[in-house]
Amino acid sequence: MRVFVSYARQDRAVVDSLVADLERLGHQAWYDDDLSGGQAWWNEIVRQIQACDALVFVLSARSAQSEACKIEARYASDLARSIVPLRIDQGVSSRLLPTFLAERQLVNYANRDVDSTIALTRALSSVPSGAVLPDPLPDPPPVPFSYLTDLAARVASAEPITAEDQWAALMELRGRITDEYQRDDVVGLMRVLRRRSDLLAVVAQDIDQLLKLAHEPGAATGGPEPTTRGPETSALTPPALTPPARAPTGQSPPPSPPRGPTIPPAPARTRRRRSVLLVVTVIGVLIVGGAMALIALTGDDDAQVTTTTAGTSSTVVENIEIEGLIDACAAGDMTACDELFFVTEVGSDAELFGQTCGGRIFDSSGGDCAELFP
């Protein structure tokens, strides 16, 4: 009998044992052990589902959340293939499955003992061999894309990636690396980003740190849990960051702290920013009011043209200055990082780049970058 095995890649070790058991029972088992993704990968999966007599759905907490696994099982159902749900996690309920799967009899394979092998044998023995495909065939499902698809396209693009886009990509990957269902994809994208020739050095250092944490014992699914881990921490969560204290006069400053994963609020710098913005706003109102009064009194069209031209030129100069501050901040000019934080729009990527001292820290509440890195 030809058996298609649908599973989540995190369950690969169990699936290898299952395939070995199926082959010992005289069945031909197929699963995507050496395909890398994309349209060609999905076309082969569709072809194998069409050719199988039964689909074994390896039920776990991972596969129950896998969109690809659900699509495979639904297509097998549309083709009138027999489906055998095989539970490998004791705590997983059939209520997590779509209706067309939940209504089928589950085979308990969690213990992989004699009883589970007998139950699997009975389930497969009731499957008719050589079932005819429906005519016409239902349309094959499209390639299942994850939420990382757009990010993967940006990271692998041949076009240069700006400093702001590099940080945005890194922060998105950092936020998803603790998702056990997508961890392998996230780690793979981090490696692709790390190999880019236009990558900032500080971004590369952060990626190296995250990749190191991802491969520590206990970080992978199913690994041993550290005995000292608290209830709300993870092996993949970088340690919290304490900003460096300023050294007393006459002493060398302490070494720079390690980078952390979050960006806490910076009340001291925020209050200072509000004062600066207030002053700039008042000055701007006075200048605009004066210009409008001049136009109203003189009726001189040239004055209006001059004012408009000056405003456009000012915007262009401001954009050029911000780009220069970003480059200088990335190169290690801490004064440029502080200025970038204060002159850019609140909540923008450029402000975040300045707030983190060019990505060197993730907590700026202890003072300005020039003070933290004298």
Q: What is the pLDDT of residues 40-95, one digit of tens each?
A: 778 899 999 999 999 999 999 888 888 888 899 999 999 999 999 999 987 777 67
Contacts of 332 (CB under 8 A, 6+ apart): 358
Give the span between the Cα atoms of 299 and 314, in whole angstroms.
24
Among 74, 93, 125, which residue terminates a domain?
125
Give the span between the Cα atoms of 215 and 187, in whole angstroms.
10
Sign of CA pseudo-dihedral 331, 334, 335, 338? positive
Q: Assess whether 119 and 196 both reside in one domain.
A: no
**Other residues' Cβ atoms within 10 Å of the Cβ of residue 45:** 24
- Give the domain CATH number at 69: 3.40.50.10140
Structure tokens at 327: 């480059």
pTM for this prediction: 0.46
Q: Assess whether 50 and 116 both reside in one domain.
A: yes
Rg from Cα positions in the chain? 29
Q: Using the predicted structure, report yes or no on whether residue 273 has a pLDDT greater than 90.
A: no
Q: Assess whether 353 and 278 both reside in one domain.
A: yes
- How many domains does the chain fold into? 3
Instruction: Decide if 135 is inside a domain.
Output: no
Q: Label each residue of 324-350 as H, E or C.
A: HHHHHHHCCCHHHHHHHHHHCCCCCHH
Q: Assess whether 317 and 203 both reside in one domain.
A: no
Contacts of 291 (CB under 8 A, 6+ apart): 303, 307
Q: Using the predicted structure, report yes or no on whether residue 268 has a pLDDT greater than 50.
A: no
Instruction: Decide if 192 is inside a domain.
Output: yes
Do 364 and 269 contact (CB within 8 A), yes or no?
A: yes
Q: Assess whether 187 and 285 both reside in one domain.
A: no
Percentage of the chain exceeding pLDDT 90: 23
Average pLDDT value for residue range 117-122 = 91
Instruction: Decide if 246 is inside a domain.
Output: no
Question: What is the phi/psi pair of residue 2, to 5°?
Answer: -95, 120
User: For residue range 168-218, what is the model confidence (pLDDT) as tens digits?
Assistant: 888 888 877 776 656 777 888 889 999 999 999 989 999 998 888 876 544
28 confidence band (pLDDT: 50, 70, 90): very high
Q: Using the predicted structure, report yes or no on whether residue 148 has a pLDDT greater than 80.
A: no
Give the span between the Cα atoms of 31 and 15, in whole angstroms.
9
Q: Assess whether 106 and 27 both reside in one domain.
A: yes
Among 214, 239, 256, which residue terminates a domain?
214
Instruction: Decide if 232 is inside a domain.
Output: no
Q: Using the predicted structure, report yes or no on whether residue 276 has a pLDDT greater than 80.
A: no
Instruction: Decide if 56 is inside a domain.
Output: yes
Give the span between the Cα atoms of 314 and 309, in whole angstroms.
8
Average pLDDT value for residue range 30-47 = 78
Instruction: Decide if 163 is inside a domain.
Output: yes
Q: Assess whether 202 and 162 both reside in one domain.
A: yes
| Structural domain span for residue 183 | 149-214
- What pLDDT was estimated at residue 281? 56
144 or 288: which leads in pLDDT? 144
Q: Assess whether 110 and 9 both reside in one domain.
A: yes
Percentage of the chain exceeding pLDDT 70: 66
138 confidence band (pLDDT: 50, 70, 90): very high
Do 61 and 107 contact (CB within 8 A), yes or no?
A: no
Give the span between the Cα atoms of 335 and 220, in whole angstroms.
41
Give the span between the Cα atoms of 106 and 368, in whole angstroms.
60
Instruction: Decide if 184 is inside a domain.
Output: yes
- What pLDDT was estimated at residue 194? 92
22 confidence band (pLDDT: 50, 70, 90): very high
Cα 63 to the chain's mean position, in Å? Answer: 19
Instruction: Decide if 250 is inside a domain.
Output: no
Q: Assess whether 112 and 176 both reside in one domain.
A: no
Q: Assess whether 165 and 121 both reside in one domain.
A: no
- What pLDDT was estimated at residue 280? 52
Report the chain's mean pLDDT, rounded to a whole number.
74
- What pLDDT was estimated at residue 285? 60
Q: What stretches of the chain show up as alpha helix (H) in DSSP? A: 12-24, 39-51, 67-78, 99-102, 114-125, 149-155, 163-176, 183-194, 201-214, 267-298, 301-330, 334-343, 349-355, 369-372
Q: Assess whether 99 and 208 both reside in one domain.
A: no
Q: Assess whether 51 and 12 both reside in one domain.
A: yes
User: For residue range 320-357, what is the model confidence (pLDDT) as tens digits?
Assistant: 788 888 888 888 888 888 888 888 887 787 887 888 88
